[in-house]
Amino acid sequence: MFIESNSTRRTLRQKYKGPCQATNPIDRCWRCRSNWANERKRLAKCVKGFASGTTGGAAGKFYVVTDASDKDVVNPKYGTLRWGVIQKEPLWITFANDMIITLSQELMISSNKTLDGRGANVHIAYGAQVTVQFAHNVIIHNLHIHDIKPAAGGMVRDSTDHYGLRTESDGDGITIYGSTNVWIDHVSMSNCADGLIDVVQRSTAITISNGHYTRHNDVMLFGASDSYSDDQFMQVTLAFNHFGRGLVQRMPRYCSPSFGGSKNPTIISQGNRYIAPPNIAAKEVTKREYADEAEYKNWVWKSDGDLLQNGAIFTESGGKNERKYTKEQFFKAKPGTFVTRLTRFSGTLNCRVGKKC
């Protein structure tokens, strides 16, 4: 796995009243255009990292969510989010107005979909989780996802021609399971029952960018089991994310310290700011689970341009065994001193039609 992330502590959610600023290469692709609402699909050209090439529903029609209810999960009503995400054809899904969607059961997102929350204040909260399972080419953008709870399970529709029995869900914010080419951008997430984002079961070609994460214990999990060897093919890019207040561990954990791993993951940390907590003896950023030095000395864990503050320590390993990646998958990171600027607008954006985001 290749990981590129930028995280820092800063004063959260201060309203910015100046001119539009796009401070990283993903945002510069689309944000400071006053006509963004008339060219929403331009967003699909902006993904970087391992999910590059992901277009979501750009090849399809627009579908507008007008109904925040989620009462019937087997025969969902037209106008609901659930109706849109189970359709077979590509769809670019937007929201008619501000809304809180409380899911009765897992929301099963099918292939070739974009969930685009720009122009509305959309919360998926107080109910079941979002799941991308055995799907490809999905974009989730500009949503609040928080206070997610386990769902009891039952009959749930995952496509127009199939529904089946789902067991109890974990209560993750987003689960990516056996899926490819998934881009999660500008989401704000907190306080879910299990993980905020779990990427498991040979999911790969994932980019998680511009996110804002707070108030949670197990933040991100990449690979659920050391015994599942197919997760060796997993590739994830983290870029321009802010891991904020009230987080405890797994920022992320690879199968905490800040991040950890337990089955020979490759981790390349570039341009991050790590601030060790005060008055705590443990200052180690990294954590290698269930392995002694004789084993983990060959794991490729590299720190490049990171800013380590308040005694934070990054223990490198792996010698010069870094793999080479294409230009589309790998973009040169700024040093850790640029973190505040690069992540200034992480999380959901207050985009309004006719104005720059």
Catalytic site residues?
250
- Reading phi first (left if > 0) and then psi (alpha if -120 to 50, else beta), residue 23 is in alpha
Pairing of strands 174-177, 197-200: parallel
Q: What is the DSSP letter of 80?
A: B
CA dihedral 89, 95, 96, 98 (to 10 degrees): 160
> Strand (E) positions, 186-281?
188-190, 197-200, 204-209, 212-214, 216-218, 220-222, 236-239, 242-243, 247-249, 253-254, 259-261, 267-270, 273-275
Cβ–Cβ < 8 Å for 111, 137:
yes
Cβ–Cβ < 8 Å for 146, 213:
no
Q: Name the H helices within the chain.
A: 25-28, 81-85, 293-296, 339-342
Phi, psi of 340 (to 5 degrees): -55, -45
**Residue 223 neighbours by CB distance under 10 Å:** 26
Q: What is the DSSP letter of 304?
A: E
